[in-house]
Amino acid sequence: MDVAKAENPQSSAQVAREVARMILTGVWREGTTLPREIELASRFDVSRTSIREALSLLKAKGLIASKQKAGTHVRARFDWNMLDEELLNWTLSALPTQEFAKQILEVRRIVEPEACAICAARGTDEDFARIERAYRGMDAAGMDRVAYAEPDLQFHRGILIATGNDFLIAFGATVAAALRMSFDLSSTNPGAPRKSLPYHRTVLDEIWARNPDGARQAMHKLMDLTEQNIVTAMSRQKKKDTKDTEDENARTRRAR
C-alpha cells in the first residue's frame, strides 16, 4: 500500500552508500558505465536530484567520473581515495576481509611509529596532556570495550595531532577505521582491548620522556599486539564462517 507518502529522508546519503557498496563489492567493476541518472532514480525510487547528490559525493572520493552524453563510469581502483574516512567505513562494512585488515595494518605500521617519534620530539606539553587524558579515559573504561574504543581513538589521534603535520593528522581517518575494525572483531574476545592498556602506557611514558626512539619502538610493540589480536580474531571468525557454511549446506542437503 506504500505508506511512505512523505519524502525520502536522507535519500542521497543512502543512495551514495548503496552505490558505493555495489562498486566496492564489484557489482559494478572498474570501467563499467553506470545506469543513467534517470534509470537510477527510478531504480532507487528517489528523485534525480538525490541521485545526483549521491553521485557527486562518490565523484569527490574518486570512485566515479561523469562526462556529458557518455555517462558515469567507475574509475580505476588506483584513483579511489581509500584514505577517505567514509570510503573506509563503507569498505569495512562491505568487505571486511583479511586482506583489508592486513593492508590497513601495514600502513599503520609505517606511519604511526614515525608519527610517534615526531610527537615525542616536538609535541607540546598541551599535546601530551591531551594524550594523557585519552589514556585515563581508556583506563577508566575498564573491561567495557564500548567505553574503551573512543578514548583509544583519541589516544592515537592525539599523537598524530601532536606532530603538527596536517597530512599525518588526516591519516587519523585511517586509524579510526582500523580501530573500528578491531572493535568489531573484539566481540569474540572482549578482554583483548584492555590488554593493550600497558602498551599504551609505555608509549605515553616515552613521549613524556621526549624520547623519539623509545616512542617509536613502543608504538611498534603496540602494533605487534594489534596485529596479533586481529589475526587470531580473524582466524576464529573464519573458522566460524566455515562452520556456518557447513551447517547451511547440511540444512540444504536435508531439505532436498
Partner DNA sequence: AGAATTATTATGTCAGACATATTTTCTATT
Partner DNA sequence: AATAGAAAATATGTCTGACATAATAATTCT
The contact set with DNA (CB under 7 A) reads 6-13, 34, 36-38, 46-50, 52-53, 55, 66-72
- Interface positions, 35-74, toward its own copies (CB under 8 A): 52-53, 56-57, 59-62
Residue 33 DSSP SS3: strand
The correct pick among 95, 170, 209, 250 for binding its own copies (CB under 8 A) is: 170
H or E segment to which residue 88 belongs: helix 85-94
Of the candidates 182, 166, 171, 184, the residue with the CA atom closest to the CA atom of residue 85: 171
- Residue 53 or residue 132: which is nearer to its own copies going by CB? 53
- Residue 158 or residue 193: which is nearer to its own copies going by CB? 158
Looking at residue 77, the DSSP 8-state letter turns out to be G
Binds 8: which of DNA, its own copies, none (CB < 5-8 Å by kind): DNA
Closest distance of CB 165 from its own copies, Å:
5
The reply to whether 194 sits near its own copies by the rule CB under 8 A is no
- The dihedral of CA 240, 229, 88, 86: what is its sign? positive
Binds 127: which of its own copies, DNA, none (CB < 5-8 Å by kind): none
In terms of DSSP bridges, do strands 64-67 and 71-74 run parallel, antiparallel, or are they unpaired? antiparallel
Identify the residue whose cell numbers are 527510478.
42
The reply to whether 171 sits near its own copies by the rule CB under 8 A is yes
Binds 50: which of DNA, its own copies, none (CB < 5-8 Å by kind): DNA
The reply to whether 92 sits near its own copies by the rule CB under 8 A is no
Binds 229: which of its own copies, DNA, none (CB < 5-8 Å by kind): none
The reply to whether 110 sits near its own copies by the rule CB under 8 A is yes
Of the candidates 125, 114, 29, the residue with the CA atom closest to the CA atom of residue 73: 29
Looking at residue 135, the DSSP 8-state letter turns out to be H
The correct pick among 65, 82, 94, 147 for binding its own copies (CB under 8 A) is: 82
Q: How far apart are CA 98 and CA 22, in angstroms?
A: 20
The correct pick among 27, 33, 144, 167 for binding its own copies (CB under 8 A) is: 167
The reply to whether 213 sits near its own copies by the rule CB under 8 A is no
Please state, as a whole number, how many other Cβ atoms lie within 10 Å of the Cβ of residue 31: 9
Identify the residue whose cell numbers are 589475526.
231
Closest distance of CB 98 from its own copies, Å:
14
Asked if 209 and 218 touch (Cβ cutoff 8 Å), the reply is no
Asked if 176 and 89 touch (Cβ cutoff 8 Å), the reply is no
Binds 106: which of DNA, its own copies, none (CB < 5-8 Å by kind): its own copies
H or E segment to which residue 49 belongs: helix 48-60
Q: Note the residues at the interface with its own copies (CB under 8 A).
A: 52-53, 56-57, 59-62, 77-78, 80-86, 103-104, 106-107, 110-111, 114-115, 118, 157, 161, 165-174
